[in-house]
A and B are shown apart, each in its own frame.
Chain A
Amino acid sequence: MNRPFRAGAARRGISLIPNHVILMLLVLFAMGPVVVLLFNSFKTQAEIGRNPLGIPTDIVFSNFPEAWDVGNFSTTLRNSGELVVVTVIGVLVLGGMAAYSLAKMNLPGANILTLYLLVGSALPIQLFLVPLFFLWQRLGLVNNILGLSLIYIAINSPLAVFLLRSYMVQLPSDFEDAARVDGAGEWRIFVQIVVPLAWPGFLTVGLVVALSVWNEFLLATVFLTDQDKFTVVTSYFNFTTRFSRDWGLTSAGAIMMILPIVILFLALQRRFIEGLTSGGLKG
């Protein structure tokens, strides 16, 4: 298990051409609409009317600075960024611990916990709004980035815990067993063995949680009502209602809005792929 599968495939000369062909078709399907959006962000309103799908004939860049200003991105990016950082760290640390307990420690009563977390995640969020707001108001957690992050940690935790658990279950138990024989405590096994081995899983879950926080709308609009606490999505929504006809401007806003997530994706996935090419499972 020292060599990743891809090295084997390459060495054995199995053709990857069919893979590329099918993947290209899927890329076409996935990226086509995104490319249209990108084109539109460089068009004037008049051109979108004449040419809604094609390549811009007369490229304009003014949509971007204008969208930056009216979308108030400089404030909202910071708020959304803080929410994402706090939530992702909370979910990965606390969720990771719970996942470890479920995957590797034979938690007594695991089924009850599973049932509780998953049934809880199947409740429509609209139903919690009033009671939750009531409680948060009394705890002074309304209009507070940390307060909303706690809610996000809670609602993202079922997916994160069980996803991380599923990655940890897959891991071979040789190292932990050895560490237990050496007398390592569970915390040390978790931090020093399981987290590094399950790291690709942590990166992926972190990305997924970051994304769900970044795009969340309902809770953000109810729990953060001070203008200086608005998130990117809240202000983007204000922005689209104001410029609903200006598709070029709203497309530019959309592109700027997703850019930080794309950068995060590239940063995380690069590590992910590097880890692979340098030897798959570390051992």
Chain B
Amino acid sequence: MTSHADAAGARVPTSRYLVATPRLRFWQRVTWRRRVVPWLFVLPILLINVAVVFGPAVASVYYSMTEWSGIGEAKWIGLDNFRRLFTDDSFYRAFRNNLIWLAMFLTIPVAMGLVAASLLMPVRRGAMLYRLSLFLPYVFPSVIVASIWRSLLNPDRGIGATLSDWGIGGLDRAFLGDTDTVLPTIAFVDNWHFWGFLMLLFLASMQNIPADLYEAARLDGANRWQEFRDITIPGIRPTLVFMILMTSIWSFLTFDYIWVLTQGGPAGASEVLSVLVFKAAFTQLEAGYASAMGLTMSLLAGLIIGIFIVLRKRGWEI
């Protein structure tokens, strides 16, 4: 990096290309290009993000320490909301459900996305059709996906009933009505919609892997699995790790499918944090407590992000 900047400073009338570079001394120019220009590139999006997210986020820190109905005056109560949170059984149960959700989403859709993308990479005939049909479920809004699956999972008229007519029994059950099966069932429906999205992102990333790496591997006699492990995975690692990170964050925020399908029921078996937040804020008139819960959620997500950053500092190229 340094040598390029030197070269640029030495040989070329840079001011035409740099963003409004004033006439500067050599060392100033180096600082400008290394310290200021990168921030100029980040600034526009950062400003928009600060306007939309930062102000409200600070406000929710304040509200988390108040008793506030979401409508009128907020009354300062210090850390009471957080104290209450730690004794709230429904918070713990929702948190446990979020962890189960996290475990399901870090494995199944990631694996399906990786497998499908790597199988699809070398395919030419029908590639477009495959891409479209595997991605299509992601295009539908959650309300529609939920209605489709609600009727497919109907024990009397859905897939289970059809299968049992064909002699395959056991699936004509009300999966969404049983406290033991409700959470995995909603996760299944959400994943039906979600995994194609990961596949598409992995595909875009795999397309940047230089083809000669694979050819060299073949010459060395590598099999499919070795290629996948030694070339594909390292090749897409930045995208893979980032999507694992985002999937973790989203697992803490998951809301749509649970809200549409069960609203947290039956008997709280599919309750997750964001559903609690929504109910507290809009039906129970407890926006202060909702803010405390929401903030705790993002702190938990912040913990995961922290791990990610530490790994990166340790030199992982992710």
Contacts and interface: CB of A to CB of B under 8 A. Distances in A.
B159 A53 contact: yes
Interface of chain B, helix or strand or loop or mixed?
A: helix
A77 interface: no
Given A8-B215, A27-B130, A37-B148, A169 B123 contact: no
A71 to B, nearest CB: 13
B245 interface: yes
B267 interface: no
A1 B214 CA distance: 10
B239 interface: yes
Nearest to B248: A122
Contacts of B313: 111
Contact of B119 (A22, A29, A126, A281): A22
Nearest to B62: A131
Interface string A113-139: 111011111111011101110010000
A261 to B, nearest CB: 5
A180 B4 contact: yes
B134 A27 contact: yes
A126 B278 contact: yes
A212 B13 CA distance: 43
Contact of A121 (B8, B37, B249): B249
A204 B201 contact: yes
Interface string B136-178: 1111111111011101101001110010000000000000000
B132 A118 contact: no
Interface residues of A, number: 118
Interface string A12-25: 10101011101100
Contact of A166 (B18, B238, B281): B238
Tell me what chain A mostly uses at the interface: helix, strand, loop, or mixed. Answer: helix
A185 interface: yes
Given A122-B252, A126-B281, A128-B57, A183 B70 contact: no
Contact of A154 (B13, B48, B207, B281): B48
A10 to B, nearest CB: 7
Contact of A120 (B8, B38, B57, B162): B57
A98 B137 contact: no
B22 interface: no
Contacts of A26: 112, 116, 134
Interface size class of B (residues with CB under 8 A): 35 or more
A183 B115 contact: no
B74 to A, nearest CB: 11
A86 interface: no
Contacts of A281: 208, 210
B149 A33 contact: yes
B211 A127 contact: no
B143 A237 contact: yes
A236 B141 CA distance: 10
A254 B148 CA distance: 11
A163 B291 CA distance: 29
B139 A12 contact: no
B226 interface: no
B312 interface: yes
Nearest to A130: B70
B24 interface: no
B46 interface: yes
Contacts of B291: 127
Given A154-B49, A169-B238, A262-B136, A119 B298 contact: yes
Contacts of A126: 274, 277-278, 281-282, 290, 294
B44 interface: yes
Contacts of B8: 180, 183-185
17 contacts: A23-B119, A23-B134, A36-B148, A37-B144, A106-B1, A108-B38, A120-B57, A123-B298, A124-B274, A150-B52, A154-B52, A157-B45, A163-B239, A166-B205, A201-B205, A254-B141, A270-B128
Given A19-B123, A52-B154, A126-B281, 20 more contacts: A5-B122, A5-B214, A26-B112, A36-B151, A94-B45, A101-B38, A107-B38, A114-B309, A118-B302, A127-B291, A132-B56, A167-B204, A184-B17, A186-B17, A200-B204, A203-B204, A207-B200, A211-B138, A262-B136, A262-B139
Interface of A: 1, 3-10, 12, 14, 16, 18-20, 22-23, 26-27, 29-31, 33-34, 36-37, 52-53, 90, 94-95, 97-98, 100-102, 105-108, 111, 113-115, 117-124, 126-128, 130-132, 135, 150-151, 153-155, 157-159, 161-163, 165-167, 169-172, 177, 180-188, 190, 200-201, 203-204, 207-208, 211, 215, 217, 233, 236-237, 240, 247, 250, 254, 257-258, 261-262, 265-266, 269-270, 272-273, 276-277, 280-281
* Ranked 8 nearest A-B pairs via Cβ: A183-B12, A185-B17, A122-B301, A180-B4, A154-B52, A128-B56, A166-B238, A101-B41
